[in-house]
Amino acid sequence: MTELLLGGDLPVNRLGFGAMRLTGPGIWGEPHDRGEARKVLRRAVELGVNLIDTADSYGPFVSEELITEALHPYPEGLVIATKGGFTRQGPDAWQPVGRPEYLRQCVEMSLRRLKLERIDLYQLHRIDPQVPLEDQLGELAALRAEGKIRHLGLSAVTVEELSRARELVEIVSVQNIFNLGRQRHRDVLDHCAREGLAFIPFFPLQAGELARPGGALAATAEAHDATPAQVALAWLLHLSPVTLPIPGTSKVAHLEDNLAATGIDLTPEEVAALAARWSDAN
């Protein structure tokens, strides 16, 4: 796998693993098969994944606990990226809370659950519109100064929000929804590429109409003797050197299929054609 440097000093392979789907339905509660979830995490690391993305709200707490059960003590070079700033009221229910005292609690509890002394990449899960951004990022910056966070990232932000945040604190990554079927944050990706920030696409496998039988994605997959999902991930990897997709799954076989995407060599023409076909369909 090719690498990128988070913050200029933290090397990670460019296909990570998103641990959200290791929980129950609605990202709530225990997984159907906790043992299989642990196997998925271990197999991901065996296959070269060295960035696992999670959040305290996944479960809540279940995803972080599974990572600790499966992988602690962590192998050298493994980056656990987690997030805070949401409360959960039930399946598929999320409410941002950015009060400084709550964000501090999120960090402290994630450190405890993950058995870490420092979180390499801590991401504000959502900007809380009810709390001044200076207060939210100021508290995370204080935690970084205390040695509890190495690097800071943001999630679900616009270019304007990212620029404002970077006036307040150093940001090394942005995690936004982005995939072949949903490219509305292309301006954020382009901004990250210009500024040397990592862009972490979540839900990277939602390909929309392009994935239908006979569609552009299916045709490209056939040409490369690959699955549409593998080509969708390869497209993200080829789109920009700052992309770091984090496909998630609860099954080992699906994980292995996803990671095979790193072996697909798309041409610049194929990358551009897939992007153009999405534009035509939307």
Which domains are seen in the chain, by residue range? Answer: 3-206+240-248 (3.20.20.100)
Residue 210: per-residue pLDDT: 56
The catalytic site residues sit at: 58
Residue 117: per-residue pLDDT: 98
Cα 197 to Cα 16, 49, 172, 183, 189, distances in angstroms: 16, 20, 5, 18, 9
Q: Could you give the angle at which helices 62-71 and 34-46 cross, rounded to 10 degrees?
A: 60
Look at residue 162 and give its three-state secondary structure. helix
Cα 190 to Cα 15, 193, 241, distances in angstroms: 19, 5, 11
Residue 281: per-residue pLDDT: 43
Residue 282: per-residue pLDDT: 45
Give the predicted TM-score (pTM) of the model.
0.95
Residue 11 has a CB neighbour count (10 Å cut-off) of 12
For residue range 185-237, list pLDDT tens digits in order.
Answer: 999 999 999 999 999 999 998 755 555 677 778 889 999 999 999 999 999 99
- Pairwise CA distance, residues 240 & 20, whole Å: 24
Residue 43: per-residue pLDDT: 98
Residue 217: per-residue pLDDT: 87
Residue keyed to tokens 């593998």: 230
- Pairwise CA distance, residues 196 & 198, whole Å: 7
Residue 259: per-residue pLDDT: 97
Residue 278: per-residue pLDDT: 58
Residue 69: per-residue pLDDT: 98
- Pairwise CA distance, residues 264 & 94, whole Å: 36
Residue 1: per-residue pLDDT: 78
Cis bond upstream, residue 60 (ω within 30): yes
Residue 5 has a CB neighbour count (10 Å cut-off) of 12
Residue 87 neighbours by CB under 8 Å, 6+ apart: 57, 94, 95, 96, 97
- Pairwise CA distance, residues 2 & 263, whole Å: 11
- Pairwise CA distance, residues 147 & 244, whole Å: 25
Spans of the chain below 50 pLDDT: 280-282
